[in-house]
Structure 1
Amino acid sequence: MLVFDIYVAKDYVLENGSDGVPRAVEMSERYSVLRSEVLKRYQQDDTKQTVDFSFNWDGSRWRGHLFFSLDGWVLNGRRLTEGSDDLTALGFNPEHVVSVSSGVGLTLFIGATGSGKSTTMVAASEELAKQNKRGLTITIEDPIEYVYTDKLVFQREVGTHTNSMADGVREAVRERPRTIVIGEIRDPETAYAAILAGLSGHRVFASIHAKDIREGISRMLILLGEDHSGMFYEAVQGYVAQNLIWTDKSSDGRPVLLYETLVQDEQVKSCIKRGPEFLQQLVHEFNRQKRFRMNEMGQTLIKIGRATKDQIEGALGAKII
Structure 2
Amino acid sequence: MMKKQKEKSILNKIFVGIVFTILLIYTISLFIPVVWAFLTSLKGYNDYSINMNILGFPTLDPNNFDNSREQFFHLKNYQDFFKVFKFGEGEIPFWSRGEQIVHYRGAVGPFGMLLNTLMLTIGGAFLQTIVPAIMAYALAKFDFKLNKVIFAVSIICMTVPIVGNYPAMLTFLRDSRLYDTMLGYMLMKCNFVGMYFFVFYGFFKALPNSFSEAAEIDGASYYRILLSIILPLSITTLSAVFIIQFVSFWNDFQTTYMYMPSYPTLMYGLWFFAVAKSSGDLSRITWRMAGGMTLMIPILIAFIFLKDKLMGNVTMGGLKQ
TM-score by length of 1: 0.22
Bigger RCO of structures 1 and 2 (CA < 8 A, at least 6 apart): 2
TM-score by length of 2: 0.22
Q: Highest CA radius of gyration, 1 or 2?
A: 2
Q: Whose helix proportion is higher, 1 or 2?
A: 2
